[in-house]
Amino acid sequence: MNLLEINDLTSGYEGVQILWGVNLSLEKGKLTTLVGSNGVGKTTLLSTVMGLLRPWQGTVNFEGKDVTNLPAHARAKAGMVLVPEGRQLFTEMTVLENLEMGAFSPRARVSFKQNLDKVFELFPRLKERAKQKAGTLSGGEQQMVAVSRGLMAEPEILFLDELSLGLSPLLALTLFESLTRLKKTGLTMLLVEQNVSMALAVSDYAYVLAEGRVHLEGPARDLLKNDEVRRTYLGI
Amino acid sequence: MQLISSLTDGLLLGFVYGVAAMGLTLIWGVMTVINLAHGPVIALGMFGTYLFFTHLGLNPYLALAPVALFGLLLGFIIYGMAVHRVINAPHLSSLLATFAVNMIIIGLGTAIFSTSPQNIDYSLGSMQIGFLTIPFSRLLATLGAVLFTAALYLFLYFTRPGKAIRAVANNRRAAELMGIPSSQVLALSFGLGTMLAAVAGGLIATFFPFTILSGGPYELKSFVICVLGGLGNPLGALLGGLILGGLEGLIPTFMPVSWVPVVEFGLFVLVLLVKPSGLLGAK
């Protein structure tokens, strides 16, 4: 069953069209990766799917319901949660307050305690940093807060935009390991990642976005063997 | 001795200035809107307290509760009518929009109340501490100001909607992504800002006469205070209020009263030149 269906989505900024009819669907419980060079519209796609950006045409269906015209906060309430590019933490608030804000929607509030334990188990370092202002943490720790804040929202589907950007390879690896652990809990995820080889290695399915359209799609394992993908995105 | 008594006088008034400025700084901090309707709302707070007192016989200090509620609701209305649609527009749009609200309130207020001065005829006498004579009305106003400041602090740091306000102020887009309805939070913040203005007006009305135009000078003082304390910083607003109040107490002992605004706005310009982020400003 498909949790999310994106149909023929077009969108852009102030008269500049970025997306030219994107079709994409996410299967429940699967980890999907969206690959593409800089500027092909990956972040635009996520913004449109989340309702931060108004689509020009096309629809977004979540759990069988049309959410195309819902505002971002209503989508978050329904279980669509984005961990945005560049972390976008509440830098002036403590780590714990950031996590509380993640659990703002009534659905997430009920299970705040359990989710907090889960998140601290996933990233033990955050427990030590709970009372610290989020803006004072290192880049890697901030990314952990960003992912944790997203998890606190009790997502049905988690979008992760450029998770490893600006992180050391070791930290990136740690975060990818946490993704595989999350996958085992049955969480549906869409990963947008410039570290293509790492992303494809942990994913079930993948889409390649080029010039505002889905250019290629298939099981991640197959794409790893695809000549064009290897040449363009893996540099092999 | 004269000095200390003038300073005390000024500082007590400074707490009330602080409350008015906190309202302005809260709105700026959350949505970077400079609310030019702040002054008229202060004046409406004065009239609110006055009307409750003269027509319903309500104690002016008890009248602060309905006045606060009225200020909150008025803020929702102003936000919905004038601010929400220009919230993402350049600053000039929100300046003009709130200025329009300013003119509407003053126009209506002049028509209804005329511009002849009113005052609340309610005296509590004064208290003698050594050589200091402190009117009880000043003391109660200070107490009220401190209570509202403490309540605002507790609200912002220990309640869910308060934290949501801080989250929206910090990163509105991220707040929206976390399921926080940012438009509602902005309306609430604006309401709280105007509530503080109305309360400050109500407190001032207990010891100064006023007209519908009286809010203007306090709005200007609020700007000076906000700049002193750092725009967007509620604690800085209180500190700035105390500084300004203290100055207003002290200056007349050295030079003619008419110099007060000269020194105040001289300071305003100086702070903008030397430390534009304010005395407590970090950014």
pLDDT in tens, B27-70: 999 999 999 999 999 999 999 999 999 999 999 999 999 999 99
Q: What pLDDT sits at residue B281?
A: 65
Express each pLDDT in A114-132 by its tens digit. Answer: 999 999 999 999 999 999 9
Q: Which residues of B are less than 8 Å from A71 in CB distance?
A: 176, 181
CA distances from A123 to A16, A91, A177 (A): 40, 19, 11
| ipTM metric | 0.93
Phi-psi region of B162 (alpha: psi -120 to 50; beta: other; left: phi over 0): alpha
- A149 in reach of chain B (CB within 8 A): yes
How would residue B225 be classed by pLDDT, with cut points 50, 70 and 90? very high
- A82 in reach of chain B (CB within 8 A): yes
How would residue B283 be classed by pLDDT, with cut points 50, 70 and 90? very low
* Residue in chain B nearest A51 by alpha carbon: B177
As a whole-number percent, the residues of chain A with pLDDT over 70 amount to: 100
Got the DSSP string for B155-175?
HHHHSHHHHHHHHHHH-HHHH
Q: What pLDDT sits at residue B43?
A: 98
Is A103 a domain residue? no
- B182 in reach of chain A (CB within 8 A): yes
- B180 in reach of chain A (CB within 8 A): yes
Is A215 a domain residue? yes
How would residue B123 be classed by pLDDT, with cut points 50, 70 and 90? confident
Q: What pLDDT sits at residue B2?
A: 84
Q: Which residue has the tokens 């590019």?
A: A85
Is A50 a domain residue? yes
Is A5 a domain residue? yes
What domain count does chain A have?
Answer: 1
How would residue B282 be classed by pLDDT, with cut points 50, 70 and 90? low
Q: What pLDDT sits at residue A213?
A: 94
The mean pLDDT of chain B is 93
Would the CB atoms of B177 and A92 count as touching at under 8 Å? no
| Domain, as residue range, for A57 | 1-71+190-236
CA distances from B13 to B141, B145, B147, B245 (A): 8, 10, 15, 6
Q: Which residue has the tokens 């005395």?
A: B279
How would residue A37 be classed by pLDDT, with cut points 50, 70 and 90? confident
Would the CB atoms of B171 and A88 count as touching at under 8 Å? yes
- B177 in reach of chain A (CB within 8 A): yes
| Candidate CATH numbers 2.70.98, 1.10.12, 1.10.3470, 1.10.1760; the one for domain B2-274 | 1.10.3470
- B171 in reach of chain A (CB within 8 A): yes
Which of B30, B177, B180 to substitute to test the interface with A, most A CBs within 10 Å? B177
- Show the tokens assigned to B199: 């309360």
C-beta of residue B232 within 8 angstroms of C-beta of residue B25: yes
C-beta of residue A18 within 8 angstroms of C-beta of residue A41: yes
C-beta of residue A215 within 8 angstroms of C-beta of residue A208: yes
| CB interface of B with A, residues 20-59, below 8 Å | none
Would the CB atoms of B178 and A153 count as touching at under 8 Å? yes
Tell me the residue type at A28.
K
Is A9 a domain residue? yes
Would the CB atoms of B179 and A104 count as touching at under 8 Å? yes
Pairing of strands A65-66, A57-62: antiparallel
Instruction: Give the domain CATH number at A31.
Output: 3.40.50.300
Q: Is the pTM of this model over 0.90?
A: yes
CA distances from B254 to A21, A32, B120, B139 (A): 74, 74, 31, 25
A107: distance to nearest CA of chain B, Å?
A: 10
